[in-house]
Amino acid sequence: MAMTRLYRLLPRHPHAPHSRASLVARLMCRKHAFPADFIWPIFVIDGVKKTEPVASMPGVERLSIDLAVKAAEEAARWAFR
């Protein structure tokens, strides 16, 4: 008897808690990714023309301000926001 009540409380459809207009539902249904959908991690350090790898993020480096400006200009050309 208790199990029957529990099953009544569970949603019948796995996406039932999310309305069709909700952000989560829209993200789950998307098939295409656009440059504006991505977040670019950029870390800035003191100094000039310095880079330093981020150990926990392979392929990501901390950049000095001058290099960060150049990287941001290049990213803007690629339409990353």
pLDDT of residue 1: 46
Output the CA torsion sign for 57, 59, 60, 64.
Answer: positive
For residue range 7-21, list pLDDT tens digits in order. Answer: 555 555 555 554 545
Output the CA torsion sign for 42, 43, 44, 49.
Answer: negative
For residue range 28-81, list pLDDT tens digits in order. Answer: 776 777 766 777 889 999 999 999 999 998 989 999 999 999 999 988 887 655
pLDDT of residue 41: 83
H helix intervals, 1-81: 2-9, 23-29, 65-77
Q: What pTM does this model have?
A: 0.52
Domain span at residue 28 reads 2-77
Instruction: Identify the CA nearest to 25 among candidates 12, 39, 38, 14.
Output: 14
pLDDT of residue 3: 52
Domain count, the chain: 1
